Amino acid sequence: MIRRVFRALLVIIIIGVLCKACLVKDVQNPETHIKSSKNNLLATDYPTPTTVNINGIDYLQSQAPIGKFGGEIIFSTIGEGPKTFNPFNSKDNTSSTLSAIMYDGLLSTHPITGQPSPKLAKSYTISPDGKTYTFKLRKGIKWSDGKPITADDVVFTWRDIIFAGFGDTSLRDSIYIDGKLPTVRKIDNYTVEFKTAKPYAPFIRVLGASIAPKHIFMPAIKKGPKYFDSFLSTTTKPEDFVVSGAFKLKEYVPAQRVVYERNPNYYEINTNNESLPYLDKLIYLIVGDLNNEVLKFEAKEIDVITLQGSKVARYKSLEPHSDFDLYNLGPNTGTMYLSVNLNDRKNDKGKYYVDPIKQKWFQDLNFRTAIDYTIDRRNMVFNIANGIGAPLHTPESLNSIYLNKELKAFEKDTQKAKEYLYKSGFYTDKKGHLYDKDNNRVEFDLFTNAGNTEREAIGVMVKQDLEELGMKVNFKPIEFNSLVNKLVSTFDWDMVIMGLTGSPLEPNGGKNVWMSNGRLHMFNMRTPQEGKLNILSWEKELDEMFEKGALATKFEDRKKYYDRYQEIIYEQRPMIYIYSPVIIVAIRDKFKNIYPSSLGGITHNIEEIYIGE
């Protein structure tokens, strides 16, 4: 039965990948989706909002069926909750998600075509030479405190926050072109112009970044970076937030919940010219771990859940007689991987970040290759994801339009793995314990974030697989913030199982992971002072591929560079990819105007969703 399920889902994955490729050639070719049997709406039916001018105000007008006002929708988040509500300070996915709810950008990504779609900007043009971007803002729209949203807010956000390096600098670092940042200037109150030194293909995508209210953020900027790092923290009073998004923070109870209320000044309206959103509240329960999340969904305490593969068959059997619908959104757009610490440098006290003995193992390509061949991806897909997924061997997701299909998948091969180890002088004793050529027992720690039961299950299986080679693996799930601190601050880790979010439309979003001086180049992390110190030859080539890939303007040219970056990772194995689950989402069927999309998810149009009969 599992094999049949897997084959069927593999077909879905292949179709999804092919459809993504269609987006490159013709963005009007929408992607095919599997829909719930209880819902007759396909994502391809999504009616795109349009701009209308009413009494001098440029509203975004929903074209979806008119709904009823009132009610709430309850989501969940695992872990400990957000670390900040400042979108420019967030360094983790939870904080980024919960802060982005409140602050719109100039653009968003259309959930079907993947093309940039107007938000705070009503339109934009790109000059023939590809270096000048001119944005027309919506006239008459307001922040939640009633003050107008103007070009001054946009210029301030980019010039004084992002370009100036306040908060997390990952976005700024990703848009340097030949060492230069773009420029931004105000043409008039509702027109903004950006210029890049050269045509820069990814730039239009980053313009979806949140825009800040100048009158609220400027005082914090004047107090300096240290103050800004704590600005709009989780202890900030909800009434102090001034936002442009559909919802505004109402309440935060640490380790329990985050509650948002509708923004009465939101600029989207329905065809009756009534202000959206329909829902009064948006609630995120902080549930701790995935098992608790399932219990809360079944107790009807939350309304939406992304299912682990092991839960899908049961929920599918329950669906016809339940109060929820299931949607298959295709392969996950993120990636899950195992990484080894290649760092061989000393800290300012002269101590190595990583045990020098382990350094030799981790820097040995034969050692990393042996790990790659030992991991039983197919077994993990069957036993952890219940067949709802497929093995992954590249840093691009299975539905990426830039996926390098020439990189062939391979099966677990313990004997081949041992041959690679023997090439580097490793050997096993009579008890089967693995030693290096200097007679050191091969033993190391394997970390992941506690509470993510999927990653914990993967960790157990990786430990078992590697112990077949005679390695001693100390598997240690730890609290997420502690893990992140190890990866990007103290560098005191051996191996880790983690995941990264990503875009199937733009590899440059991963630039801060792959560039040798990137803030998330975790497998060989450098401090800002180190820059590109002791760069490996293949790291240097990765830098080159991302620099050239961003400057190429045609898809065919860009794909050559991004194919090569995937090939480098495939060959060098600093990060070893595991599998790609298919996203199966359950949502209560009382919610209407649901248009599922693999690009936008199940609630990309949250302002249009309402509670029906």
pTM greater than the 0.85 cutoff: no
Residues 415 and 271 in one domain: no
Q: Are 76 and 306 in contact (CB under 8 A)?
A: no
Share of the chain above pLDDT 70, in %: 92
Selection from 32, 54, 58 nearest residue 43 by Cα: 32
Confidence of residue 169 (pLDDT cuts 50, 70, 90): confident
What DSSP assignment string belongs to 60-123? Answer: EE--SPP-----EEEEEEEBS--SBS-TTT--SHHHHHHHHTT--BSEEE-TTT--EEESSEEE
Residues 424 and 471 in one domain: yes
Q: Write out the residue range of the structural domain in which residue 265 sits.
A: 2-76+246-331+584-611
Residues 339 and 481 in one domain: yes
**Residue 596 within a domain:** yes
- Domain with residue 476: its CATH number is 3.10.105.10
Residues 259 and 322 in one domain: yes
Dihedrals phi, psi of 343, to nearest 5 degrees: -65, 125
Mean pLDDT of the chain: 90
Q: Which residues contact 585 (CB under 8 A, 6 or more apart)?
A: 304, 305, 306, 307, 326, 327, 329, 596, 601, 602
**Residue 416 within a domain:** yes
pLDDT at 7: 33
Checking if the pLDDT of 40 tops 80, the result is no
What DSSP assignment string belongs to 150-182? Answer: -HHHHHHIIIIIITTT-S--HHHHTT-BTTB--
pLDDT at 309: 86
pLDDT at 518: 87
**Residue 135 within a domain:** no
Q: pLDDT for 250-306, tens place per residue?
A: 999 999 999 999 999 999 999 999 999 999 999 999 998 888 999 999 999 999 999
**Residue 365 within a domain:** yes
pLDDT at 37: 35
Tokens of 405: 């299909």
Confidence of residue 43 (pLDDT cuts 50, 70, 90): low
Residues 371 and 301 in one domain: no
pLDDT at 333: 85
Q: pLDDT for 173-217, tens place per residue?
A: 889 888 899 999 999 999 999 999 999 999 999 999 999 999 999
**Residue 431 within a domain:** yes
Residues 495 and 417 in one domain: yes
**Residue 498 within a domain:** yes
- Mean pLDDT across 496-522: 89
Q: Are 41 and 35 in contact (CB under 8 A)?
A: yes
Q: Which residues contact 485 (CB under 8 A, 6 or more apart)?
A: none
Bond into 49 cis (ω within 30):
no
Residues 350 and 400 in one domain: yes
Residues 353 and 277 in one domain: no
Dihedrals phi, psi of 310, to nearest 5 degrees: -65, -15
Residues 256 and 357 in one domain: no
Checking if the pLDDT of 29 tops 80, the result is no
Q: Which residues contact 367 (CB under 8 A, 6 or more apart)?
A: 361, 420, 421, 424, 426
Q: pLDDT for 416-431, tens place per residue?
A: 999 999 999 999 999 9
pLDDT at 42: 43
Residues 326 and 345 in one domain: no
Q: pLDDT for 447-490, tens place per residue?
A: 999 988 899 999 999 999 999 999 999 999 998 888 988 998 88
Q: Is 238 exposed, middle or buried (0-12, 13-18, 19+ CB in 10 A)?
A: middle
Checking if the pLDDT of 27 tops 60, the result is no
- Domain with residue 65: its CATH number is 3.40.190.10
Q: Helix 537-551 to helix 555-572 angle, to the nearest 10 degrees? A: 160
Please state the domain count of the chain: 2
